[in-house]
Amino acid sequence: MKLIAASAEDTGATALSHPQEPGVLVLENTADPREASLDGITRIDLHFPKFTDGRAYSQAYLLRRRLGYTGELRATGDVLVDQVLLMQRSGFDSAVLRPDQDISVARAQLERFGGFYQGDAAQPQPLFARSAA
């Protein structure tokens, strides 16, 4: 997962306040991804207005698993280092950290566990089903 410091923010990290870039879809967390046209979209920015609002996790999972979106999913907004591992498992490719968050701590979070028993957006099969094959 690519981690982006908020200070590096010419990358569309605060996409809700930036003009729309070509190929980038900014999806409000109240929007239904199934109603969006994904033709020509290379990146979708999903916004976390508060770290306690998890609707963007559901949007990411829906985009990956049900809609088959293969482009970049970027988390923006109130993104904390504690969230990046779950974001990665939900299908996000990149996350723009809130300005007070340390990118080195976020990287350590991504390396904390060597594997998972449950399936996720990237690897839908649980561990027992992968080992049996």
Domain count, the chain: 1
Write the single-letter amino acid at 4: I
- Specify the CATH number for the domain of residue 29: 3.40.50
Let me know: does 6 contact 95? Beta carbons within 8 Å: no
Token look-up 């907004």 returns 77
Q: What is the pLDDT of residue 121?
A: 85
**pLDDT tens digits for the chain (133 residues)?**
999 998 875 544 444 444 568 899 999 989 999 999 999 999 999 999 999 999 999 999 999 998 999 999 999 999 999 999 999 999 999 999 999 999 999 999 999 988 888 888 888 888 888 876 5
Structural domain harbouring 90: 2-132
